[in-house]
Structure 1
Amino acid sequence: MALPLCRLYLITPPRLDDLAAFGHTLAQTLDAGDVAALQIRLKDVADEIVCAAVDALAPIAQARGVAVILNDRPDLAARMGCDGVHVGQSDASLAEARRIMGAETMIGVTCHDSLHLAMEAAEGGADYVAFGAFFPTTTKDALTRADLDLLTGWQADMVIPCVAIGGITVETARAIARAGADFVAISAGVWAHADGPAAAVRALNHEIAAGVAARGT
Protein backbone atom coordinates (compact mmCIF):
# COMPACT_ATOMS: atom_id res chain seq x y z
CA MET A 1 0.00 0.00 0.00
CA ALA A 2 1.37 3.42 -0.95
CA LEU A 3 2.05 5.82 1.91
CA PRO A 4 0.02 9.04 2.05
CA LEU A 5 1.46 12.11 0.32
CA CYS A 6 1.12 14.03 3.58
CA ARG A 7 1.46 12.56 7.07
CA LEU A 8 1.01 13.55 10.67
CA TYR A 9 4.06 14.57 12.74
CA LEU A 10 3.31 14.69 16.46
CA ILE A 11 5.15 16.88 18.96
CA THR A 12 4.99 16.11 22.67
CA PRO A 13 3.42 18.55 25.11
CA PRO A 14 5.95 21.04 26.53
CA ARG A 15 5.78 19.34 29.95
CA LEU A 16 5.61 15.64 30.77
CA ASP A 17 5.15 15.42 34.52
CA ASP A 18 3.97 11.79 34.52
CA LEU A 19 5.86 9.79 31.92
CA ALA A 20 4.07 6.54 32.67
CA ALA A 21 0.64 8.11 32.19
CA PHE A 22 1.71 9.93 29.05
CA GLY A 23 3.25 6.76 27.66
CA HIS A 24 -0.13 5.03 27.98
CA THR A 25 -1.83 7.98 26.26
CA LEU A 26 0.82 8.00 23.54
CA ALA A 27 0.32 4.31 22.76
CA GLN A 28 -3.43 4.81 22.37
CA THR A 29 -2.86 7.90 20.25
CA LEU A 30 -0.42 6.22 17.88
CA ASP A 31 -2.72 3.22 17.55
CA ALA A 32 -5.55 5.49 16.39
CA GLY A 33 -4.17 6.25 12.93
CA ASP A 34 -1.23 7.06 10.69
CA VAL A 35 1.59 8.99 12.40
CA ALA A 36 4.98 9.40 10.74
CA ALA A 37 7.05 10.86 13.56
CA LEU A 38 7.08 11.87 17.20
CA GLN A 39 9.21 14.82 18.19
CA ILE A 40 10.18 14.86 21.86
CA ARG A 41 10.35 18.55 22.66
CA LEU A 42 11.19 19.49 26.24
CA LYS A 43 12.71 22.94 26.61
CA ASP A 44 14.77 24.26 29.51
CA VAL A 45 14.92 21.02 31.47
CA ALA A 46 17.86 18.96 32.72
CA ASP A 47 19.48 16.40 30.43
CA GLU A 48 18.38 13.54 32.65
CA ILE A 49 14.74 14.56 32.22
CA VAL A 50 15.11 14.57 28.45
CA CYS A 51 16.85 11.19 28.52
CA ALA A 52 14.17 9.73 30.78
CA ALA A 53 11.50 10.89 28.33
CA VAL A 54 13.32 9.31 25.40
CA ASP A 55 13.79 6.09 27.38
CA ALA A 56 10.08 5.92 28.15
CA LEU A 57 8.58 7.10 24.87
CA ALA A 58 10.92 5.97 22.10
CA PRO A 59 10.14 2.25 22.45
CA ILE A 60 6.41 2.97 22.30
CA ALA A 61 6.78 4.98 19.08
CA GLN A 62 9.41 2.86 17.37
CA ALA A 63 7.46 -0.35 18.02
CA ARG A 64 4.71 1.20 15.89
CA GLY A 65 7.02 2.33 13.07
CA VAL A 66 6.96 5.95 14.22
CA ALA A 67 10.28 7.80 13.92
CA VAL A 68 11.52 9.45 17.12
CA ILE A 69 12.98 12.93 16.65
CA LEU A 70 14.60 14.80 19.54
CA ASN A 71 14.37 18.57 19.56
CA ASP A 72 17.50 20.74 19.84
CA ARG A 73 20.03 18.21 21.14
CA PRO A 74 21.98 16.14 18.60
CA ASP A 75 24.35 14.99 21.35
CA LEU A 76 21.52 13.45 23.38
CA ALA A 77 19.75 12.19 20.26
CA ALA A 78 22.87 10.27 19.22
CA ARG A 79 23.46 8.96 22.73
CA MET A 80 19.87 7.77 23.16
CA GLY A 81 19.50 6.16 19.74
CA CYS A 82 16.86 8.52 18.37
CA ASP A 83 15.95 8.29 14.69
CA GLY A 84 16.73 11.96 14.20
CA VAL A 85 17.07 15.45 15.58
CA HIS A 86 15.36 18.74 14.85
CA VAL A 87 17.42 21.91 15.16
CA GLY A 88 16.31 25.53 15.20
CA GLN A 89 18.19 28.52 13.89
CA SER A 90 19.64 29.21 17.36
CA ASP A 91 20.48 25.57 18.15
CA ALA A 92 23.37 23.44 16.92
CA SER A 93 24.18 24.06 13.27
CA LEU A 94 23.11 21.59 10.61
CA ALA A 95 26.75 20.72 9.96
CA GLU A 96 27.42 20.09 13.64
CA ALA A 97 24.26 18.01 13.99
CA ARG A 98 25.28 15.91 10.99
CA ARG A 99 28.78 15.41 12.40
CA ILE A 100 27.34 14.17 15.68
CA MET A 101 24.44 12.15 14.31
CA GLY A 102 26.05 10.59 11.26
CA ALA A 103 25.02 10.30 7.64
CA GLU A 104 22.08 7.94 8.06
CA THR A 105 20.15 9.84 10.74
CA MET A 106 17.30 12.23 10.00
CA ILE A 107 17.93 15.94 10.56
CA GLY A 108 15.26 18.60 10.25
CA VAL A 109 15.79 22.35 10.34
CA THR A 110 13.46 25.17 11.39
CA CYS A 111 13.26 27.73 8.59
CA HIS A 112 10.43 29.97 9.87
CA ASP A 113 8.92 31.77 6.87
CA SER A 114 12.20 31.98 4.93
CA LEU A 115 12.69 30.34 1.55
CA HIS A 116 16.34 31.42 1.75
CA LEU A 117 16.93 29.53 5.02
CA ALA A 118 15.15 26.49 3.61
CA MET A 119 17.28 26.50 0.46
CA GLU A 120 20.42 26.72 2.58
CA ALA A 121 19.25 23.82 4.73
CA ALA A 122 18.43 21.70 1.69
CA GLU A 123 21.81 22.43 0.13
CA GLY A 124 23.47 21.63 3.46
CA GLY A 125 21.98 18.15 3.56
CA ALA A 126 18.88 18.52 5.74
CA ASP A 127 16.37 15.71 5.44
CA TYR A 128 13.44 18.08 5.85
CA VAL A 129 12.72 21.76 6.41
CA ALA A 130 10.04 23.15 8.71
CA PHE A 131 8.00 26.27 7.94
CA GLY A 132 5.80 28.16 10.40
CA ALA A 133 4.03 29.31 12.34
CA PHE A 134 0.96 29.20 10.13
CA PHE A 135 -1.53 30.08 12.85
CA PRO A 136 -1.38 31.54 16.38
CA THR A 137 0.09 29.01 18.80
CA THR A 138 0.29 28.70 22.55
CA THR A 139 2.92 25.95 22.50
CA LYS A 140 5.84 28.30 21.84
CA ASP A 141 6.54 31.93 21.01
CA ALA A 142 6.34 32.03 17.23
CA LEU A 143 8.76 34.52 15.73
CA THR A 144 7.24 34.51 12.26
CA ARG A 145 3.97 33.87 10.44
CA ALA A 146 4.25 31.77 7.30
CA ASP A 147 1.91 31.85 4.32
CA LEU A 148 0.36 28.78 2.71
CA ASP A 149 1.87 29.80 -0.63
CA LEU A 150 5.28 28.95 0.82
CA LEU A 151 4.27 25.28 1.01
CA THR A 152 2.87 25.29 -2.51
CA GLY A 153 5.99 26.83 -3.99
CA TRP A 154 8.31 24.51 -2.11
CA GLN A 155 6.35 21.44 -3.19
CA ALA A 156 6.52 22.52 -6.81
CA ASP A 157 10.24 23.28 -6.93
CA MET A 158 12.04 21.20 -4.29
CA VAL A 159 12.59 17.53 -3.51
CA ILE A 160 13.36 17.86 0.23
CA PRO A 161 10.15 17.35 2.25
CA CYS A 162 8.61 20.26 4.11
CA VAL A 163 6.92 20.21 7.50
CA ALA A 164 4.22 22.74 8.39
CA ILE A 165 4.11 23.73 12.04
CA GLY A 166 2.47 26.27 14.31
CA GLY A 167 -1.07 26.41 15.63
CA ILE A 168 -2.44 23.74 13.29
CA THR A 169 -5.63 22.00 14.40
CA VAL A 170 -8.15 19.54 13.00
CA GLU A 171 -9.99 22.53 11.54
CA THR A 172 -6.97 23.88 9.65
CA ALA A 173 -5.09 20.70 8.72
CA ARG A 174 -6.95 20.22 5.44
CA ALA A 175 -5.80 23.61 4.13
CA ILE A 176 -2.21 22.86 5.17
CA ALA A 177 -2.23 19.50 3.39
CA ARG A 178 -3.86 20.96 0.30
CA ALA A 179 -1.25 23.71 0.12
CA GLY A 180 1.53 21.14 -0.22
CA ALA A 181 2.92 20.14 3.17
CA ASP A 182 4.57 16.74 3.28
CA PHE A 183 4.08 16.56 7.05
CA VAL A 184 1.69 18.35 9.38
CA ALA A 185 3.28 18.95 12.80
CA ILE A 186 0.88 19.31 15.71
CA SER A 187 1.16 19.44 19.48
CA ALA A 188 -1.72 21.10 21.35
CA GLY A 189 -4.11 20.39 18.48
CA VAL A 190 -3.82 16.72 19.41
CA TRP A 191 -3.12 16.59 23.15
CA ALA A 192 -5.70 19.26 24.06
CA HIS A 193 -8.39 18.11 21.63
CA ALA A 194 -11.85 18.14 23.21
CA ASP A 195 -12.50 14.49 22.34
CA GLY A 196 -9.03 13.28 23.30
CA PRO A 197 -5.81 12.74 21.34
CA ALA A 198 -6.84 9.45 19.72
CA ALA A 199 -9.95 11.09 18.27
CA ALA A 200 -7.79 13.98 17.12
CA VAL A 201 -5.47 11.65 15.19
CA ARG A 202 -8.41 9.96 13.48
CA ALA A 203 -9.90 13.32 12.53
CA LEU A 204 -6.54 14.69 11.38
CA ASN A 205 -5.90 11.68 9.17
CA HIS A 206 -9.28 12.29 7.53
CA GLU A 207 -8.64 16.00 7.03
CA ILE A 208 -5.12 15.48 5.73
CA ALA A 209 -6.32 12.91 3.20
CA ALA A 210 -9.05 15.29 2.06
CA GLY A 211 -6.50 18.07 1.66
CA VAL A 212 -4.19 15.92 -0.45
CA ALA A 213 -7.12 14.82 -2.63
CA ALA A 214 -7.97 18.47 -3.27
CA ARG A 215 -4.49 19.50 -4.43
CA GLY A 216 -4.57 21.23 -7.78
CA THR A 217 -8.30 21.89 -7.63
Structure 2
Amino acid sequence: MSEDDPRLYLITPLLDDAAGFSAAFVAALEAGDVACVLLRFAPTADAKAIAKHLVPLAQERGVACLIEDTQLAVRAGADGAHIAAPGAALDAALKAMKPKHIVGTGGGVSRDDAMQAGETGVDYLSFGGPDEALTFPQIRERVAWWSEIFNLACIGYAHRLEEVAPLVEVGADFVALEAAVWDDPRGAAAAVAEADHALAPRRIGA
Protein backbone atom coordinates (compact mmCIF):
# COMPACT_ATOMS: atom_id res chain seq x y z
CA MET A 1 0.00 0.00 0.00
CA SER A 2 1.26 3.46 -0.83
CA GLU A 3 2.30 5.63 2.11
CA ASP A 4 1.47 8.81 0.23
CA ASP A 5 -1.50 10.90 1.28
CA PRO A 6 -4.77 9.97 -0.45
CA ARG A 7 -5.92 12.36 -3.14
CA LEU A 8 -8.98 13.00 -5.30
CA TYR A 9 -9.58 11.73 -8.83
CA LEU A 10 -12.42 13.51 -10.59
CA ILE A 11 -14.44 12.02 -13.44
CA THR A 12 -16.38 14.43 -15.62
CA PRO A 13 -19.92 13.80 -16.82
CA LEU A 14 -20.35 12.97 -20.51
CA LEU A 15 -19.46 16.34 -21.97
CA ASP A 16 -20.97 17.85 -25.10
CA ASP A 17 -19.62 21.37 -24.58
CA ALA A 18 -16.45 22.90 -23.14
CA ALA A 19 -17.38 26.53 -22.64
CA GLY A 20 -20.43 25.80 -20.52
CA PHE A 21 -18.47 23.43 -18.29
CA SER A 22 -15.25 25.39 -17.86
CA ALA A 23 -16.26 27.48 -14.83
CA ALA A 24 -17.40 24.49 -12.78
CA PHE A 25 -14.37 22.52 -13.96
CA VAL A 26 -11.87 25.13 -12.81
CA ALA A 27 -13.70 25.74 -9.54
CA ALA A 28 -13.66 22.02 -8.75
CA LEU A 29 -9.96 21.64 -9.53
CA GLU A 30 -9.07 24.56 -7.29
CA ALA A 31 -11.24 23.52 -4.32
CA GLY A 32 -9.19 20.60 -3.02
CA ASP A 33 -6.30 18.24 -3.51
CA VAL A 34 -7.25 16.93 -6.95
CA ALA A 35 -4.53 14.74 -8.42
CA CYS A 36 -6.18 13.77 -11.65
CA VAL A 37 -9.25 14.31 -13.80
CA LEU A 38 -10.69 11.92 -16.37
CA LEU A 39 -12.46 13.60 -19.28
CA ARG A 40 -15.47 11.80 -20.74
CA PHE A 41 -17.46 12.85 -23.80
CA ALA A 42 -21.00 12.48 -25.10
CA PRO A 43 -21.21 10.26 -28.19
CA THR A 44 -22.04 13.16 -30.51
CA ALA A 45 -19.60 15.66 -29.02
CA ASP A 46 -16.57 17.17 -30.69
CA ALA A 47 -14.29 15.41 -28.21
CA LYS A 48 -11.07 16.80 -29.65
CA ALA A 49 -12.25 20.41 -29.35
CA ILE A 50 -13.48 19.88 -25.79
CA ALA A 51 -10.25 18.17 -24.79
CA LYS A 52 -8.11 20.89 -26.35
CA HIS A 53 -9.98 23.43 -24.23
CA LEU A 54 -10.04 21.56 -20.90
CA VAL A 55 -6.71 19.73 -20.81
CA PRO A 56 -4.66 22.93 -20.39
CA LEU A 57 -7.00 24.17 -17.66
CA ALA A 58 -6.20 21.07 -15.64
CA GLN A 59 -2.48 21.02 -16.37
CA GLU A 60 -2.07 24.70 -15.50
CA ARG A 61 -3.31 23.79 -12.02
CA GLY A 62 -0.99 20.83 -11.58
CA VAL A 63 -3.76 18.29 -12.22
CA ALA A 64 -3.06 15.35 -14.50
CA CYS A 65 -5.64 14.98 -17.26
CA LEU A 66 -6.60 11.58 -18.68
CA ILE A 67 -8.84 10.58 -21.59
CA GLU A 68 -10.49 7.24 -22.35
CA ASP A 69 -9.20 7.19 -25.94
CA THR A 70 -5.46 6.77 -26.48
CA GLN A 71 -5.24 8.51 -29.84
CA LEU A 72 -7.28 11.45 -28.62
CA ALA A 73 -5.17 11.66 -25.48
CA VAL A 74 -2.04 11.98 -27.60
CA ARG A 75 -3.57 14.54 -29.98
CA ALA A 76 -4.93 16.66 -27.12
CA GLY A 77 -1.68 16.65 -25.15
CA ALA A 78 -3.24 14.84 -22.20
CA ASP A 79 -1.15 13.23 -19.47
CA GLY A 80 -2.37 9.73 -20.21
CA ALA A 81 -5.28 7.40 -20.78
CA HIS A 82 -7.73 5.41 -18.73
CA ILE A 83 -8.87 2.21 -20.42
CA ALA A 84 -11.93 0.53 -18.93
CA ALA A 85 -10.60 -3.02 -18.94
CA PRO A 86 -7.62 -5.11 -20.08
CA GLY A 87 -7.60 -6.15 -23.72
CA ALA A 88 -6.43 -4.85 -27.07
CA ALA A 89 -7.20 -1.19 -26.25
CA LEU A 90 -5.16 -1.35 -23.05
CA ASP A 91 -2.29 -3.11 -24.79
CA ALA A 92 -2.27 -0.36 -27.42
CA ALA A 93 -2.34 2.36 -24.76
CA LEU A 94 0.55 0.85 -22.86
CA LYS A 95 2.60 0.54 -26.04
CA ALA A 96 1.85 4.09 -27.19
CA MET A 97 2.03 5.98 -23.91
CA LYS A 98 4.37 4.29 -21.48
CA PRO A 99 6.69 5.19 -19.85
CA LYS A 100 6.22 8.93 -20.35
CA HIS A 101 2.47 8.99 -19.73
CA ILE A 102 -0.03 7.58 -17.26
CA VAL A 103 -2.08 4.52 -18.15
CA GLY A 104 -4.70 3.10 -15.81
CA THR A 105 -7.45 0.53 -16.03
CA GLY A 106 -10.41 -0.91 -14.16
CA GLY A 107 -10.09 -3.79 -11.74
CA GLY A 108 -13.02 -5.75 -13.10
CA VAL A 109 -15.63 -7.65 -11.12
CA SER A 110 -13.64 -10.46 -9.49
CA ARG A 111 -10.36 -10.61 -7.59
CA ASP A 112 -8.91 -12.65 -10.44
CA ASP A 113 -9.84 -9.83 -12.82
CA ALA A 114 -8.03 -7.35 -10.60
CA MET A 115 -4.87 -9.43 -10.30
CA GLN A 116 -4.72 -9.97 -14.05
CA ALA A 117 -5.25 -6.26 -14.69
CA GLY A 118 -2.56 -5.39 -12.17
CA GLU A 119 -0.01 -7.46 -14.06
CA THR A 120 -0.37 -5.54 -17.34
CA GLY A 121 2.01 -2.71 -16.44
CA VAL A 122 -0.57 -0.03 -15.64
CA ASP A 123 0.04 2.80 -13.18
CA TYR A 124 -3.14 2.26 -11.20
CA LEU A 125 -6.19 0.07 -10.85
CA SER A 126 -9.69 1.49 -10.26
CA PHE A 127 -12.55 -0.22 -8.49
CA GLY A 128 -16.03 0.98 -9.42
CA GLY A 129 -17.07 3.83 -11.66
CA PRO A 130 -20.04 5.65 -13.20
CA ASP A 131 -20.80 2.79 -15.58
CA GLU A 132 -19.78 -0.16 -13.41
CA ALA A 133 -22.00 -2.53 -11.47
CA LEU A 134 -20.00 -2.83 -8.24
CA THR A 135 -21.88 -1.62 -5.17
CA PHE A 136 -20.15 0.54 -2.60
CA PRO A 137 -19.68 -2.32 -0.10
CA GLN A 138 -18.07 -4.33 -2.90
CA ILE A 139 -15.82 -1.42 -3.87
CA ARG A 140 -14.74 -0.88 -0.28
CA GLU A 141 -14.02 -4.57 0.21
CA ARG A 142 -11.98 -4.72 -2.97
CA VAL A 143 -9.95 -1.62 -2.06
CA ALA A 144 -9.24 -3.02 1.42
CA TRP A 145 -8.07 -6.33 -0.05
CA TRP A 146 -5.94 -4.73 -2.76
CA SER A 147 -4.26 -2.14 -0.55
CA GLU A 148 -3.36 -4.76 2.05
CA ILE A 149 -1.57 -7.05 -0.41
CA PHE A 150 -0.40 -5.09 -3.46
CA ASN A 151 1.79 -2.03 -4.01
CA LEU A 152 0.12 -0.83 -7.21
CA ALA A 153 -1.94 2.29 -6.54
CA CYS A 154 -5.69 1.78 -6.35
CA ILE A 155 -8.68 4.06 -6.81
CA GLY A 156 -12.00 3.56 -5.08
CA TYR A 157 -15.11 5.12 -6.61
CA ALA A 158 -17.44 6.99 -4.25
CA HIS A 159 -21.05 7.34 -5.35
CA ARG A 160 -21.70 9.85 -2.55
CA LEU A 161 -19.51 12.24 -0.55
CA GLU A 162 -20.22 10.20 2.57
CA GLU A 163 -18.31 7.31 1.01
CA VAL A 164 -14.99 9.16 0.71
CA ALA A 165 -13.82 8.67 4.30
CA PRO A 166 -14.66 4.92 4.40
CA LEU A 167 -12.54 4.40 1.27
CA VAL A 168 -9.66 6.34 2.80
CA GLU A 169 -9.93 4.25 5.97
CA VAL A 170 -9.37 1.01 4.07
CA GLY A 171 -6.37 2.31 2.15
CA ALA A 172 -7.50 3.90 -1.11
CA ASP A 173 -4.67 5.87 -2.71
CA PHE A 174 -7.19 7.94 -4.66
CA VAL A 175 -10.92 8.44 -4.32
CA ALA A 176 -12.83 8.94 -7.56
CA LEU A 177 -15.90 11.15 -7.71
CA GLU A 178 -18.27 11.98 -10.54
CA ALA A 179 -21.97 12.73 -9.95
CA ALA A 180 -21.32 13.44 -6.27
CA VAL A 181 -19.38 16.51 -7.40
CA TRP A 182 -21.06 17.74 -10.55
CA ASP A 183 -24.65 17.19 -9.38
CA ASP A 184 -24.17 18.76 -5.96
CA PRO A 185 -26.73 21.61 -5.61
CA ARG A 186 -24.15 23.68 -3.70
CA GLY A 187 -21.82 23.59 -6.70
CA ALA A 188 -18.82 21.48 -7.66
CA ALA A 189 -16.35 23.49 -5.58
CA ALA A 190 -18.29 22.93 -2.36
CA ALA A 191 -18.49 19.21 -3.05
CA VAL A 192 -14.77 18.93 -3.71
CA ALA A 193 -13.97 20.91 -0.59
CA GLU A 194 -16.09 18.52 1.49
CA ALA A 195 -14.47 15.50 -0.13
CA ASP A 196 -11.03 16.98 0.47
CA HIS A 197 -11.83 17.38 4.16
CA ALA A 198 -12.82 13.70 4.28
CA LEU A 199 -9.30 12.73 3.20
CA ALA A 200 -8.00 13.94 6.57
CA PRO A 201 -8.19 10.67 8.58
CA ARG A 202 -5.40 9.01 6.62
CA ARG A 203 -3.40 12.24 6.34
CA ILE A 204 -3.08 12.34 10.12
CA GLY A 205 -2.45 8.62 10.42
CA ALA A 206 -5.84 7.62 11.81
TM-score in terms of structure 2 length: 0.88
In structure 2, distance between residues paired with 1:117 and 1:31: 35
Deviation (angstroms), 1:91: 6.8
Moved more, 203-212 or 149-158: 203-212
Match of 2:148 among 143, 156, 162: 156
Match of residue 16 from structure 1: 16
Distance in 2, Cα, partners of 1:176 & 1:184: 7
Distance 1:25 1:41 in 2: 15
Rounded Cα–Cα distance in structure 2 between residues aligned with 1:156 and 1:38: 25
> Matches of 1:114 and 1:214 in 2, distance apart?
30
**TM-score, scaled to structure 1:** 0.84
Q: 2:184 maps to what in 1?
A: 193
Runs of 4+ in 1 over 2 A off after TM superposition: 43-46, 89-94, 112-115, 142-147, 210-215
Which letter does structure 2 place at the counterpart of 1:187?
A: E
> By how many angstroms is 1:125 displaced?
0.3
Alignment of 1:37-56 (within 5 A): 37-45=36-44, 49-56=46-53
User: CA separation in 1, counterparts of 2:100 and 2:29?
Assistant: 25
Task: Answer whether contact 1:151 1:162 (CA < 8 A) is retained.
Answer: yes
Letter of the aligned partner of 1:44 in structure 2? P
Q: Deviations over 1:96-143 (max 9, x none)?
A: 11112232211111123322222222221010001125xxxxx43x33
Task: Flag the structure with higher strand content.
Answer: 2
- The reply on whether 1:121 has 2:117 as its aligned counterpart is yes
Q: CA deviation at 1:178?
A: 0.9
- Which structure has the higher relative contact order (CA within 8 Å, separation 6+)? 2
Counterparts of 1:201-212 in structure 2, within 5 Å, are: 201-210=192-201
Identity of aligned residues (%): 34
Does 1:183 find its partner at 2:174? Answer: yes
